[in-house]
């Protein structure tokens, strides 16, 4: 029997020299590989901003600060196992504070990269990420 879940997550858009920091899903079933914004699930007692800073460091090796609320999105989708998940995504813009780009090991992501904004249409980019980045770049 399938289950229903809700998940609240915080993500960040980091632009630097006309490129955006993205992470790639480690799920081998995503073909072509799926990319999205650095971020993830909010731990109990953690603020969305704390989550964003922690997840950004874990997934990219970069320290970020000055999170500024950009948008909140929500969607319902079906997982491979049949479960339905309702995800609320709190999306921030952030500033690069320090660090060099590195890859997460044994996580939900396995690669971090800078992608020039002009090459984003070539990527299998999560819908929420594509929409948020395009909205930010149109400002």
CA separation for the pair 25, 27 (Å, rounded)? 5
Number of separate domains in the chain: 1
Sequential pLDDT tens for the chain (139 residues): 789 999 999 999 999 999 999 999 998 888 899 999 999 999 999 999 999 999 999 999 999 999 999 999 999 999 888 899 999 999 999 999 999 999 888 889 999 999 999 999 999 999 999 999 999 998 7
Host domain of residue 113: 4-127
137 in a structural domain: no
CA separation for the pair 34, 77 (Å, rounded)? 16
CATH number at residue 45: 3.90.79.10
Kindly tell me the burial class for residue 113, based on how many C-beta atoms sit within 10 Å of its own C-beta (0-12, 13-18, 19 or more): middle
**Lookup: tokens for 58:** 């874990």
26 in a structural domain: yes
């Amino acid at each position: 029997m399938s289950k229903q879940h809700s998940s609240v997550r915080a993500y960040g858009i980091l632009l630097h020299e006309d490129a955006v920091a993205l992470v790639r899903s480690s799920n081998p079933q995503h073909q072509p590989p799926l990319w999205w914004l650095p971020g993830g699930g909010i731990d109990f007692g953690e603020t969305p901003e704390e989550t964003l800073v922690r997840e950004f460091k874990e997934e990219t090796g970069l320290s970020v600060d000055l999170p500024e609320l950009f948008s909140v999105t929500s969607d319902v989708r079906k997982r491979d196992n049949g479960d339905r998940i309702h995800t609320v995504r709190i999306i921030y813009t952030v500033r690069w504070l320090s660090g060099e780009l590195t890859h997460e090991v044994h996580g939900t992501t396995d690669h971090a990269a800078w992608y020039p904004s002009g090459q984003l249409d070539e990527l299998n980019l999560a819908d929420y990420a594509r929409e948020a980045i395009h909205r930010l770049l149109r400002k």
